[in-house]
Amino acid sequence: MKITVIGCGRWGSLITWYLDSIKHQVTLYGRKSSQHMQRFLRERKNDLLELPETIKLSTDLSCVKEAEVIIISVNSQGLQNLMDELKPYSPSNKIVVLCMKGIEISTGRRLSQIAHENLDVSNNVAVWLGPGHVQEFYKGTPNCMVIDSDNDETKKLLVNEFSGELIRFYYGQDLIGNEIGAAAKNVIGIAAGMLDGLNLTTLKGALMSRGTREVARLIKAMGGNEISAYGLCHLGDYEATVFSKYSHNRQFGESFVKGEKYADLAEGYYTVQAMLNLGGKYDVDLPICQAVYDILHGGKGAKSALDGLFTRSLKNEF
């Protein structure tokens, strides 16, 4: 397949490398102003991987015209701006795959909703979600991931075309649940990092069990299947998000409570506000999200906020 990947960060570059490795024709797009892209143009590598010569590199967004599949891997809060940039090229009859996790803060829109609202109806939209880190994939460590779409033929095509020995794809059955679960796991990852930073790692078991149930309630209230929270989009991604040394959200949470600077993107920082907005809209109590928000955005002490969270009455566990 002819594929254009938009986004030259760690995940976009990994997707590019992976799809090339299973013999697709891949172009990686990045802005001229991007330091990541400039390094790829000079050296064809970043700090994590090297791109083979079979991959095309472009700083001209018109490269999407040639693609059958457009894969997007950018900051979730910047998706609407990217949609605006794509409009002059009038993409049609393409598959657009969203490979990021988040909820738009200002509107509460899921990322697939943003794509649908901005693309011609001839395009089909899918999401690519689930556990994994660039460092592990690049050294050959396999994992399982999920592709979901409201179009069954699109979902079937992508699973068949994208599956390989390194990544085994499962068919998603709940677009709402998978998107919300995937976004919310980044908030849980930040909370886990805070526990690590406070030497309270033993409380991660309680965090995971209660976090999954909290997210399941929201998914159900939004019209999704609450069981999705227990799949690869959320609970199944905890190992990579709650424990891994490569998790940006976990490391951000740990650095935050230690008063250390952390420069890499942690999507959960933005997602937590969107989660609370959705909780208010659908009348769902989200105590973990509230505690993380109070610490990050409300100036509350991490220890007191987390103590309050884990000393809630037992009747409130589920």
DSSP, res 23 = T
Span 109-123, mean pLDDT? 98
Domain boundaries, the chain: 2-171, 175-316
Token duo for residue 75: 């900051």
* Per-residue confidence band for 312, with pLDDT thresholds at 50, 70 and 90: low
> How high is the pLDDT of residue 316?
53
Three-class SS state of 174: coil
- Phi and psi (nearest 5°) for 45? -155, 165
> How high is the pLDDT of residue 28?
98
Is the domain spanning 2-171 CATH 3.40.50.720? The answer is yes
Task: Give Cβ neighbours of residue 57 (< 8 Å, ≥ 6 apart).
Answer: 27, 28, 30, 37, 40, 41, 44, 51
- 163-195 pLDDT tens trace: 999 999 999 999 999 999 999 999 999 999 999
Q: For residue 2, give the amino acid letter.
A: K
* Per-residue confidence band for 297, with pLDDT thresholds at 50, 70 and 90: very high
What is the pTM assigned to this prediction? Answer: 0.94
Cβ distance 116 to 98 under 8 Å? Answer: no
Distance CA 176, CA 49 (A): 33
Task: Give Cβ neighbours of residue 113 (< 8 Å, ≥ 6 apart).
Answer: none
Selected residue with higher pLDDT from 312 and 229: 229
- 17-62 pLDDT tens trace: 999 999 999 999 999 999 999 999 999 999 999 999 999 999 999 9
Cβ distance 73 to 103 under 8 Å? Answer: no
> How high is the pLDDT of residue 212?
97
Cβ distance 241 to 229 under 8 Å? Answer: no
Architecture of domain 175-316: Orthogonal Bundle (1.10)
- Phi and psi (nearest 5°) for 32? -60, -30
